[in-house]
């Protein structure tokens, strides 16, 4: 039975003529060159000439995408260099093997060969070659997610590049540049020593910039934002000095990520925006996409959902455009490169056949070419069709995942907007009530001032005062919360007397407690010094005590206590109030929770104070924990770093 997929493949037979007219000749010519080199290999007995031919064979098969054969030829080349006692040629071949194994994602073999080359170059003081080996090892360990090892090798490369910049070493380095780069290789043929050093300096500066950027990324992965900032900034300086626009754009976007990790969001936005502008100028769409994605993330953190949505939309549009172009190019070319495989082609094993067998095959050249071309046409045709479907299916899957991610982010933005709208509605409503009381009693006192008694005037003033205090507390929490959301609030942890902070907070709420005949208890022994932001701690204590008083009936009690446990101090605020159900506990610390916050004396509030306290505690790497039983009261607790007890 012919399966549905087979039927779909057969529909593409119209590509056969195209394959025969375009792809097959290029494959055949590549094969002819390879066989010509193999024949030359067996016709010479000189080891040095054989090594040169093997180098050409490895290069040709690598270009054809036959990585297994390229590796095989390099291994044979390495053996010949050992026979010739050519240690430099051997080390250079080991370095190339490490690079090629990296391309095939065989990082175990890549590490082994790169280490051999690095150790040799280090012993021989071949700094440039040593640096290249270290950079490759850094890349390998980064891919293996071994961040510490990657950092070590990149730092070796950094030290080597800095030492080469010294003039004495630079003169020696330019005579043995190895695989350092095209710009440096040009200096080998340049007769002007001054110009030679200038070109070498520029190339080394470009490599330095890339190593600094790699170190910055690795430190950022290790949550070392300050170190990451240093390396990324140094790399950006070098890129600017070399006027390398691509590295400049990449450095600016990387610096934006570092600033974001440091909670410096406005700075992150500005530098990433510069990176976007630079990437657009040089038309580097990959960097443009990365900048759009990063700006969307920063805008969301700055609570600018409209702007974040705009960047996200531009990111998706550019992604779609690139995808469509890739698909168009794929269809127009009619084929793709072979998949990397661990299986070696027969031509890779021709070197293991004896000379008589090779000569026999050469005598039947016409038959061999007919069979080879026929077989190649069939195999290539099938591989291309299968590969095309595989690539298309993979791209479609990736696009679906990207669209799902974009849709999730869009829903998140919409939820954020709805939450903000609801929050503003709550704020407006809860500001209106105390303002009504304040204005109403102020009007009564003003209009009937001569008719009302002093006792009534005093009662009116009391209501006005309470309304003003409530409005002030609400606005103070609102402003603090707004600064915290936008990343503009300052956080300065320092040694703080917990006892003094508690006593100050108790004095601030004592009048409210006395009005409801609530007893305030403090349970702590001696003065405890903690590490905290003084102003944030004061705000948290004031809000928790105010809430406890608000939900405790007349005649109840509120207790604030502290206890020391090794390196932490636990602070608890307990009350004998009305308590909360499990459902109500779930709605705490959420703007859209819809939790009613009317107190026992009809006090009102938005719940914003608790949300603000939770965010302040998060900056202290702590969390407010709420426990409550309906009718028996509630307890709110948090921990701080303990310094000492006096």
Identify the three-state secondary structure at position 211. helix
Cα separation, 606 vs 423, whole angstroms: 8
The size of the chain, in residues, is: 646
What's the rounded mean pLDDT across residues 155-168? 71
Say yes or no to pLDDT of 74 above 80.
yes
Say yes or no to pLDDT of 152 above 90.
no
- Other CB atoms within a 10 A radius of the CB of residue 536 amount to 24
Share of the chain above pLDDT 70, in %: 73
Cα separation, 42 vs 24, whole angstroms: 27
Cα separation, 27 vs 49, whole angstroms: 26
Quick one: CA torsion of 205, 206, 208, 210, rounded to 10 degrees? Answer: 170
Strand partners, 569: 564, 640
- Other CB atoms within a 10 A radius of the CB of residue 141 amount to 21
Cα separation, 83 vs 286, whole angstroms: 47
Q: Spell out the residues 6+ positions from residue 107 whose beta carbon is closer than 8 angstroms to its own.
A: 101, 140, 143, 144
Q: Spell out the residues 6+ positions from residue 643 whose beta carbon is closer than 8 angstroms to its own.
A: 495, 529, 530, 531
Say yes or no to pLDDT of 624 above 90.
yes
Cα separation, 330 vs 394, whole angstroms: 14
- Highest mean pLDDT among 79-93, 134-148, 218-232, 570-584 belongs to 570-584
Cα separation, 624 vs 636, whole angstroms: 7
Cα separation, 51 vs 58, whole angstroms: 11
Please return the burial class of 156, using the count of CB atoms within 10 Å of its CB with bins 0-12, 13-18 and 19+: buried
Q: Which residue has the higher pLDDT, 213 or 518?
A: 518
* DSSP 8-class letter at 552: S
Predicted pLDDT of residue 591: 66
Strand 557-565 and strand 528-533: pairing?
Answer: unpaired
Say yes or no to pLDDT of 571 above 90.
yes
Q: Spell out the residues 6+ positions from residue 250 whose beta carbon is closer than 8 angstroms to its own.
A: 213, 239, 275, 287
Q: What is the pLDDT of residues 296-313, one digit of tens each?
A: 888 888 888 778 778 877
Q: What is the C-alpha radius of gyration for the chain, rounded to an integer number of angstroms?
A: 36
Check: CB of residue 183 under 8 Å from CB of residue 175: no
Strand 633-645 and strand 625-629: pairing?
Answer: antiparallel
What's the rounded mean pLDDT across residues 88-115? 87
Cα separation, 96 vs 179, whole angstroms: 9
- Other CB atoms within a 10 A radius of the CB of residue 411 amount to 10
Instruction: Share the mean pLDDT of the chain.
Output: 75
Cα separation, 480 vs 614, whole angstroms: 12
Check: CB of residue 69 under 8 Å from CB of residue 61: yes
Cα separation, 360 vs 358, whole angstroms: 5
Helix (H) or strand (E) holding 498: helix 498-515
Q: What is the pLDDT of residues 443-469, one digit of tens each?
A: 777 777 777 788 877 877 877 887 787
Strand 633-645 and strand 568-575: pairing?
Answer: antiparallel
What's the rounded mean pLDDT across residues 28-53? 76
What's the rounded mean pLDDT across residues 330-356? 40
Predicted pLDDT of residue 480: 66
For residue 582, give both structure tokens: 């499990």
For residue 149, give both structure tokens: 């090892």
Query: At 558, is the pLDDT very low, low, confident or very high (cuts 50, 70, 90)?
Result: very high
Identify the three-state secondary structure at position 592. helix
Name the nearest CA neighbour of 633 among 557, 542, 544, 528: 557
For residue 4, give both structure tokens: 């549905």
Check: CB of residue 180 under 8 Å from CB of residue 128: yes
Share of the chain above pLDDT 90, in %: 13
* pTM of structure: 0.40
DSSP string, 301-327: HTT-HHHHHHHHHHHHHHHHHHHHHHH
Place of tokens 């008083």: 549
Predicted pLDDT of residue 189: 39
Query: At 373, is the pLDDT very low, low, confident or very high (cuts 50, 70, 90)?
Result: confident
Domains annotated for the chain, with CATH where assigned, are 490-645 (3.30.565.10)
Distances (CA, A) of 450 to 184, 440, 454: 96, 17, 10
Predicted pLDDT of residue 176: 36
Predicted pLDDT of residue 396: 79
Distances (CA, A) of 351 to 334, 354, 355: 33, 8, 9
Helix (H) and strand (E) counts in the chain:
24, 7
């Amino acid at each position: 039975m012919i399966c549905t997929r087979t039927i779909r493949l057969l529909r593409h037979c119209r590509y056969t003529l195209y394959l025969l007219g375009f792809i097959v000749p290029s494959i055949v010519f590549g094969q002819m060159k390879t066989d010509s080199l193999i024949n030359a290999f067996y016709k010479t007995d000189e080891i040095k000439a054989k090594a040169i031919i093997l180098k050409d064979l490895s290069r040709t098969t690598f270009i054809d995408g036959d990585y297994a054969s390229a590796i095989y030829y390099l291994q044979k080349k390495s053996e010949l260099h050992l026979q010739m006692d050519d240690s430099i040629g051997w080390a250079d071949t080991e370095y190339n093997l490490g690079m090629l194994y990296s391309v095939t994602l065989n990082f175990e073999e890549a590490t082994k060969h790169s280490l051999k080359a690095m150790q040799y170059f280090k012993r021989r003081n071949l700094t440039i070659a040593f640096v290249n080996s270290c950079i490759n090892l850094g890349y390998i360990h980064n891919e293996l997610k071994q961040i510490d090892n990657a950092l070590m090798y990149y730092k070796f490369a950094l030290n080597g590049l800095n030492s080469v910049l010294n003039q004495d070493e630079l003169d020696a380095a330019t005579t043995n540049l190895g695989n350092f780069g095209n710009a440096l290789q040009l200096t080998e043929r340049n007769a002007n020593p001054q110009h030679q050093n200038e070109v070498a300096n520029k190339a080394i500066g470009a490599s330095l910039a890339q190593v600094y950027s790699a170190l910055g990324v690795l430190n950022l992965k290790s949550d070392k934002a300050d170190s990451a900032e240093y390396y990324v900034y140094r790399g950006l300086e070098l890129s600017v000095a070399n006027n390398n626009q691509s590295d400049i754009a990449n450095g600016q976007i990387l610096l934006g990520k570092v600033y974001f990790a440091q909670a410096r969001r406005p700075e992150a936005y500005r530098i990433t925006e510069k990176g976007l502008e630079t990437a657009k100028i040089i038309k580097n769409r990959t960097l443009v996409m990365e900048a759009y994605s990063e700006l969307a993330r920063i805008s969301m953190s700055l609570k600018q959902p409209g702007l974040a949505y705009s960047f996200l939309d531009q990111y998706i549009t550019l992604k779609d455009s690139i995808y469509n172009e890739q698909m168009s190019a794929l269809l127009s070319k009619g084929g793709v490169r072979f998949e990397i495989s661990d299986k070696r082609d027969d031509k890779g094993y021709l070197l293991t056949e004896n000379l008589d067998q090779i000569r026999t095959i050469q005598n039947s050249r016409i038959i061999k070419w007919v069979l080879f071309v026929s077989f190649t046409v069939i195999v290539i045709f099938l591989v291309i069709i299968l590969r095309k479907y595989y690539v298309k299916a993979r791209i479609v899957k990736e696009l679906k995942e990207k669209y799902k991610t974009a849709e999730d982010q869009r829903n998140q933005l919409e939820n954020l907007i709805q939450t903000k709208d609801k929050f503003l509605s709550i704020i407006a409503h809860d500001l209106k009530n105390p303002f009504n009381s304040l204005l109403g009693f102020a009007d009564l006192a003003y209009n009937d001032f001569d008719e009302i008694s002093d006792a009534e005037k005093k009662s009116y003033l009391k209501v006005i005062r309470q309304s003003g205090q409530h409005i002030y507390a609400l606005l103070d929490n609102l402003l603090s919360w707004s600064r915290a959301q936008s990343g503009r609030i300052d956080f300065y942890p320092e040694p703080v007397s917990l006892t003094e902070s508690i006593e100050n907070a108790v004095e601030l709420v004592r009048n409210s407690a006395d009005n409801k005949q609530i007893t305030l208890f403090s349970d702590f022994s001696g003065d405890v010094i903690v590490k905290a932001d003084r102003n944030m701690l004061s705000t948290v204590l004031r809000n928790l005590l105010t809430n406890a008083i608000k939900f405790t009936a007349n005649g109840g009690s509120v207790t604030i206590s502290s206890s020391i446990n090794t390196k932490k101090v636990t602070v608890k605020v307990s009350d004998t109030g009305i308590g909360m159900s499990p459902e109500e506990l779930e709605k705490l610390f959420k703007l859209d929770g819809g939790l009613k916050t009317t107190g026992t004396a009809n006090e009102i509030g938005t719940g914003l104070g608790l949300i603000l306290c939770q965010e302040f505690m998060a900056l202290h790497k702590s969390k407010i924990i709420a426990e409550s039983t309906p009718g028996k009261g509630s307890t709110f607790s948090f921990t701080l770093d303990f310094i000492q007890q006096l």
